[in-house]
Amino acid sequence: LSAIVLVLLLAAMVHTYLTREESEPPKWMGKLTSASPRFSFRLGFLLLGFFPTDIFTSVAVGSYLASNGLPLTDSFGFIVVTLLILAFPSLVLLAFGERAEAFLPKAREWMNGNSWVVSEVVIFLFVGMSLNNLLG
């Protein structure tokens, strides 16, 4: 199972790199700039639960824990980091107020232009976990 996950992760890295120039944010994402809190929450909940990359990442973490006989509590670090990343824009807005309102659009533009870099870093982290599991 670890070898299959590793091959899939490597294929995802290659695909992400090869399609980096074609990558565009989905059209629905533009609606989030003027979305109501209710719409944003509902969309976030659905994306978190059903987005293919999130499911694949969770499978990678779960298979790593299962193959090493680790308890569920060992996933808490992954869960906390994931929640902090998801909450980061809201936390920045709460902490910095108006200054955050000027910064967050710039950060969004950078993420739109460099999302493939972020994806590659995350996939590389899971490749490392899979290699550790496979070789260790």
**Domains of the chain by residue range:** 2-135
Report the C-alpha gap between 68 and 86 in whole angstroms: 27
Task: Spell out, as residue ranges, where the chain has pLDDT lower than 50.
Answer: none
Query: pLDDT value at position 26?
Result: 66
Query: pLDDT value at position 131?
Result: 86
Diameter over CA atoms, the chain: 49
Q: Please give the mean pLDDT across all residues of the chain.
A: 83
Coil, helix or strand at residue 42: helix
Q: Give the sign of the dihedral formed by CA 55, CA 91, CA 75, CA 12.
A: positive
Contact at 8 Å (CB) between 66 and 75? no
